[in-house]
Structure 1
Amino acid sequence: MSITSSHSSTPLASRSLARRVFDRAVASPGFRVGAAIFLALMLATALYPELSAIDPTKMDVKARLLPPLFTGTNWNWGHPLGTDQIGRDMLVRSLVGLRYSFLIGMASVIVMLIVGCALGTVAGYFGGRTDAVIMRLTDAQLSIPMIILAIAVLGVSRPTIPAIVLVLGMSNWPVYARMMRSIVMTERQREFVRAAKIGGSTDLRIIVTLLLPLLLPSVLFSSVLDVARMMIFESTLGFLGLGVQPPTPTFGNIIADGRKYLLNAWWIATMPGLFLGLTLTSINLMGAALERARDTVHAGGE
């Protein structure tokens, strides 16, 4: 994942550049398809669990292991995607699982953006010993596999949503730190930065009001794909028992429950897997379109 430095020389020009990138991405068929799938899933996630008034954790032993309607062997319209081994509705559980997984993925990316961009900006702007210390920290962090960090942090206590968000975010911030460092080292030599220094602006003011507005749009475009990656990692943790704990449904723990019933109740693991796959596909389509548009605009393709 690479970032090409903007040809613009002012934050105002950068905002115009970001708008052109977004408009070009929206014009692509891939982005539109991804956005349509994503919006449909988000609307279903927001509305169906509330409108159906079905509790995703409520057991109904009489309705256990009902297959989905499309199999033709179950005509219980109250459970269109069937039920699990203790009678919980699979459609509601999958949608609520999507809600938790997406929110955790988004929050994790926000954490890594804040930490990585802050440290990378400081390292690139000040250089010298500050840069050396921060870069050694990033090297140390990159040497620790995410799963090892998760086991160390989440394995010693009951995993909570804030703890999972922190683990995922802190395991991937070095990518953004290095990205921002390389861009800031170039942009700090621009005329408008030197003019601001001559005018008496402090380093903090230059970073906050000039550099960050100039550089963040390109980084944010790249972060879209990381939402999908964090959702995969969150589901992996849930599958291993290190994610959000039952009875709260997430993709990982639902699929983990369903693996025992793959032969006679395949839908328990398949339905959340299908929703996860659709969500990841939609995010990847939008993220890829944004990156292609960014690279084209930066290369002078418009």
Structure 2
Amino acid sequence: MTPELVSTTSVAQPTLRGQRWLSATMFINAWRTTEFRIGFFVFFGLIVLSVLGPSLFGVSPTKISVTDKFLPPIGFEGGNWAHVLGTDQLGRDLFARSLIGLRNALMIGLISVVGMFLLGSAIGMIAGYVGGWVDLILMRITDAQMAIPVIILAITILGVSRPTPFSIVCVLILAGWPAYARTARSVMLSERRKEYVRAAKILGASDLRIMIVHIAPNILPPIAFVAVLEVARMMIIEAILGFIGIGIQPPTPTFGTIIADGTKYLMNAWWITTVPGLLLAISLCGINLMGGALERARNKLLQGVS
């Protein structure tokens, strides 16, 4: 092996291992904080509850019982242990309906963020690595997409057809990928001229391998906490879509549809809107705790490295 290849190999491998070490260290440092652990266990607990809760408690979220309508939660006069969090205007159990709504919100939030990350990162990495007219065209498309509000885009697409979980996820991905593309492009622009990239080229690595194996690990730390917080934003948007009637359609319960139904009975049945609202708020708090801890861990790590 020539001296040049020996030197480039020594540059490429430690740098790649170092970048992966930074990513792993960021998550480890975040996990050591009480804030992240509380947020994680709250979020993970809600995921388990939303998946297993309805079947474990054996309460139907769609069963109508006229004799049980407007039952308050346990602890209030008229509460019933058969419906611990009360019932709505049709006698449907709010606990079961809220858990199904939580499941739908989590599913749409998580899948849409993964889709945004994959699509946005791919576009941003290609734009930053190739440069030239490819970068110009992709970034102008990104700017145009970012100029369209999510709600306007959702009304335009979902308003002409029956909304389904798949179509809602596609709309959210279409609306959210530009932010990830911008971040991925900025990382790519700063990394593509570094020594380890040049070393990988000399060693014969293809452009695709350089982007995926060598540079992609650098994109995870700046995007990780953004992606976590983005799950919370997608859950809120999903609830808004359901509230205005272009989310998942009845009889499938969602946070938005439950709250929209309850607004008609705020004075005498406040729990119809309060129960799903509190469950959504707890979910968002858990996600925000994790996102904030990841951001602080990354900032401390970068300060230590610099």
The one-letter amino acid paired with 1:37 is V
Are 1:12 and 2:17 an aligned pair? Answer: yes
| Superposed CA offset, 1:2-46 (max 9, x none) | xxxxxx963322221122111211122211221232233223222
Contact 2:23 2:220 in 1 (8 A): no
Q: Specify which of 129, 132, 146 is matched with residue 128 of structure 1.
A: 132
For residues 162 and 45 of structure 1, the distance between their equivalents in structure 2, rounded to whole angstroms, comes to: 19
The one-letter amino acid paired with 2:265 is Y
* Residue-pair matches, total: 294
| Local SS of the residue matching 2:251 | coil
The one-letter amino acid paired with 1:40 is G
Q: Which moved more, 1:171-180 or 1:31-40?
A: 31-40
| Local SS of the residue matching 1:10 | helix
Partner of 1:5: none
Q: Specify which of 190, 198, 201 is matched with residue 197 of structure 1.
A: 201
For residues 101 and 115 of structure 1, the distance between their equivalents in structure 2, rounded to whole angstroms, comes to: 21
User: Structure 1 unaligned runs (5+)?
Assistant: 1-7
Contact 1:65 1:87 in 2 (8 A): yes
CA RMSD between the two structures: 1.5
Q: Specify which of 7, 27, 41 is matched with residue 22 of structure 1.
A: 27
Contact 2:108 2:165 in 1 (8 A): yes
| Superposed CA offset, 1:169-211 (max 9, x none) | 1101111111110110011111111011122222112112211
The one-letter amino acid paired with 1:80 is V
Contact 1:11 1:214 in 2 (8 A): no
Matches within 5 A, 1:95-114: 95-114=99-118
Percent identity (aligned): 52
Matches within 5 A, 1:20-169: 20-71=25-76, 73-169=77-173
For residues 13 and 273 of structure 1, the distance between their equivalents in structure 2, rounded to whole angstroms, comes to: 43
Q: Specify which of 254, 257, 280 is matched with residue 276 of structure 1.
A: 280
User: Structure 2 unaligned runs (5+)?
Assistant: 1-12
For residues 205 and 99 of structure 1, the distance between their equivalents in structure 2, rounded to whole angstroms, comes to: 37
Q: Normalised by the size of structure 2, how large is the TM-score?
A: 0.92
Q: Normalised by the size of structure 1, how large is the TM-score?
A: 0.94
Are 1:286 and 2:286 an aligned pair? Answer: no
The one-letter amino acid paired with 1:207 is M
4+ long deviations beyond 6 Å: none
Contact 2:79 2:86 in 1 (8 A): no
